[in-house]
Amino acid sequence: MPSPTPTTSRPAATPAPTRGPTRITSVDITPVAFADPPLLNTVGVHEPFALRAIVQVHTDAGATGLGETYGDAAHLGRLRLAADAVLGADPFNINSLRALITHSLDGDTSRGGHGMSGMVTGSSTADRVLSAFDVAALDIQGRLLGVPVSDLLGGAVRPSVPFSGYLFYKWAGRPGAPADAWGEALDPEGVVEQARRMVRDYGFTALKLKGGVFPPDEEAAAIEALHSQFPRIALRIDPNGAWSVPTSVAVARRLESQLEYLEDPTTGLEAMAEVRRQTRLPLATNMCVVSFADIPPAIAAGSVDIVLSDHHFWGGLRRSQTLAGLAETFGLGLSMHSNSHLGISLAAMVHLAAATPNLDYACDTHWPWKDPADDVVAPGVLGFRDGAVAVPTGPGLGIELDHDALERLHRQYLDCGIRERDDTGYMRRVHPDYELKAPRW
Ligand code: GKR
Ligand code: MG
């Protein structure tokens, strides 16, 4: 039998390289402050200004990437260590950025700086620091390649991202000052009024009430009032772990037919699992599953049905996609957490959510609580329509830094004197007898 004629396959043409090596040349970290209303939660009340840090990563390729993260003093110190460590690194190699940043924090002994006023402390320090650099690196990559960050994350599966309106109990205004534009919300009527305005102005189709402030019966009554006023809107309540297991079970049973999910009714994986065994209501968390190490015990105990991802503490957009994959694998739902933030974070959240097929719920956002003039992002790209934000289509995050606004918000930071979010301390300045309790009820 004749031996088969050997065939020679033609070597595939090697595409010409489209970019040369890119190096990080410098990093600017600018703490900023923006006005925040007196919003109540289970650890106190929001101070007059919320803090953020704006990270600008400059490269020798002419592109600068943007990131946004917490502005607490200890976190700023860690960001500076990381900034030194990434000089000369390739912004296309996020694995190497992660290794450099993790290593830069080896000797760090500072404490605090979680940006959550004590409500969430178990997240990974390295992931919290990495996050802003990961977002900035993806912004650089997108700018240099001429594609939006959502493309770099696998492609948008939705043209816009739905958000939930974030309702808070609140004082009418700062102590001694006249009422602000939102006015008081200290009972079900006030909460419904607030919701009416949010739904009218933003078109939200989901609403979340920050609880843990008043006795659970009163907060359950507020949810019932919301349900009767907005029967088609998906509702959630989040007391940030302020309830005991029996209280959580009683509220869950009372609200079973009115809530989409119940968020962190109680504290810790075991207590959450105990509540879960006694209610049909799905339980969500941004407190007891806040790092990859929390996932195996949460799955084993059956503590939660839904994880609220948050790229600010899950290590950025790429690691949040890993979380999404784990959620899919283990049959967990996925939603998105937020606390006070500016436009760079909103843009990053929108790109991530757009490129996460199994993001099953409207994402949280504090956005309506911010004065629209108080932002570091140039206006025109980010906006709400029917409760959703369209995915920016420009290269990278698709937004531009407003340098004058950055300078103004930095001046606000210097002048406001706040260096660490401290909702409890501020509450005690107004009500010296205020006590921190967990569980509160
Ligand atoms: O801003 O008061 C607040 C919130 O309570 C925030 O700090 C929480 O992290 O909104 C967050 C949550 O869902 O737990
Ligand atoms: Mg929460």
Give the integer Cα–Cα distance in Å for 241 and 54.
30
DSSP β-ladder status, 206-210 and 234-238 = parallel
CA 22 to chain centre: 29
- Report the predicted TM-score, pTM, of the whole model to 2 decimal places: 0.95
Q: Whose CA is nearest to atom 1 of ligand 1?
A: 339
Give the integer Cα–Cα distance in Å for 174 and 180.
8
CA of 42, closest atom in ligand 1: 5
Paired tokens of 365: 């956002």
Q: Whose CA is nearest to atom 6 of ligand 1?
A: 339
Q: Please state whether the peptide bond connecting residue 215 to the residue before it is cis, i.e. omega within 30 degrees of 0.
A: no
Nearest to 271 by CA among 439, 34, 41, 57: 439
Contact 295/317 with Cβ under 8 angstroms? no
Give the integer Cα–Cα distance in Å for 336 and 310.
6
Per-residue model confidence (pLDDT) at position 5: 43
Give the integer Cα–Cα distance in Å for 171 and 423.
14
Other Cβ atoms closer than 10 A to 438: 17
Homologous superfamily (CATH) for 24-146: Enolase-like, N-terminal domain (3.30.390.10)
Q: Which residues contact 84 (CB under 8 A, 6 or more apart)?
A: 104
What is the set of active-site residues? 210, 337
Per-residue model confidence (pLDDT) at position 119: 80
Burial class of residue 73 (count of CB atoms within 10 Å of its CB; 0-12, 13-18, 19+): middle
- Cα-flanking dihedrals φ and ψ of residue 24, to 5°? -80, 125
Length of the chain, please? 441
- Cα-flanking dihedrals φ and ψ of residue 371, to 5°? -65, 125
What are the residue boundaries of the structural domains of the chain, listed by start?
Answer: 24-146, 150-397
* 69: helix, strand or coil: strand
Q: Which CATH number fits domain 150-397: 3.20.20.120, 3.30.70.141, 3.40.50.720, 3.40.960.10?
A: 3.20.20.120
Mutate to test the pocket of ligand 1, among 210, 237, 311, 338 (most ligand atoms within 8 A of CB): 210
* 101: helix, strand or coil: helix
For ligand 1, is residue 116 a contact (CB within 6 Å)? yes
Per-residue model confidence (pLDDT) at position 117: 77
Nearest to 69 by CA among 106, 101, 109, 38: 101
Mean pLDDT by 10 residues, the chain (441 residues): 44 55 97 98 98 98 98 97 98 98 94 79 92 98 98 98 98 96 98 98 98 98 98 98 98 98 98 98 97 97 98 98 98 97 98 97 97 95 97 98 98 98 97 95 97
Q: How far is the CA of 61 from the centre of ligand 1 (A)?
A: 38
Q: How far is the CA of 427 from the centre of ligand 1 (A)?
A: 16
Name the one residue in this structure whose structure tokens are 């709400």.
384
Quick one: which H or E segment has residue 306?
strand 306-309
The DSSP bridge partners found for residue 69 are: 53
Mutate to test the pocket of ligand 1, among 52, 119, 243, 306 (most ligand atoms within 8 A of CB): 119
Paired tokens of 307: 């994880």
* Start-to-end C-alpha separation, the chain: 87
Per-residue model confidence (pLDDT) at position 6: 42
Give the integer Cα–Cα distance in Å for 408 and 342.
14
DSSP string, 23-67: -EEEEEEEEEEEE---BEETTEE--SEEEEEEEEEEETTS-EEEE
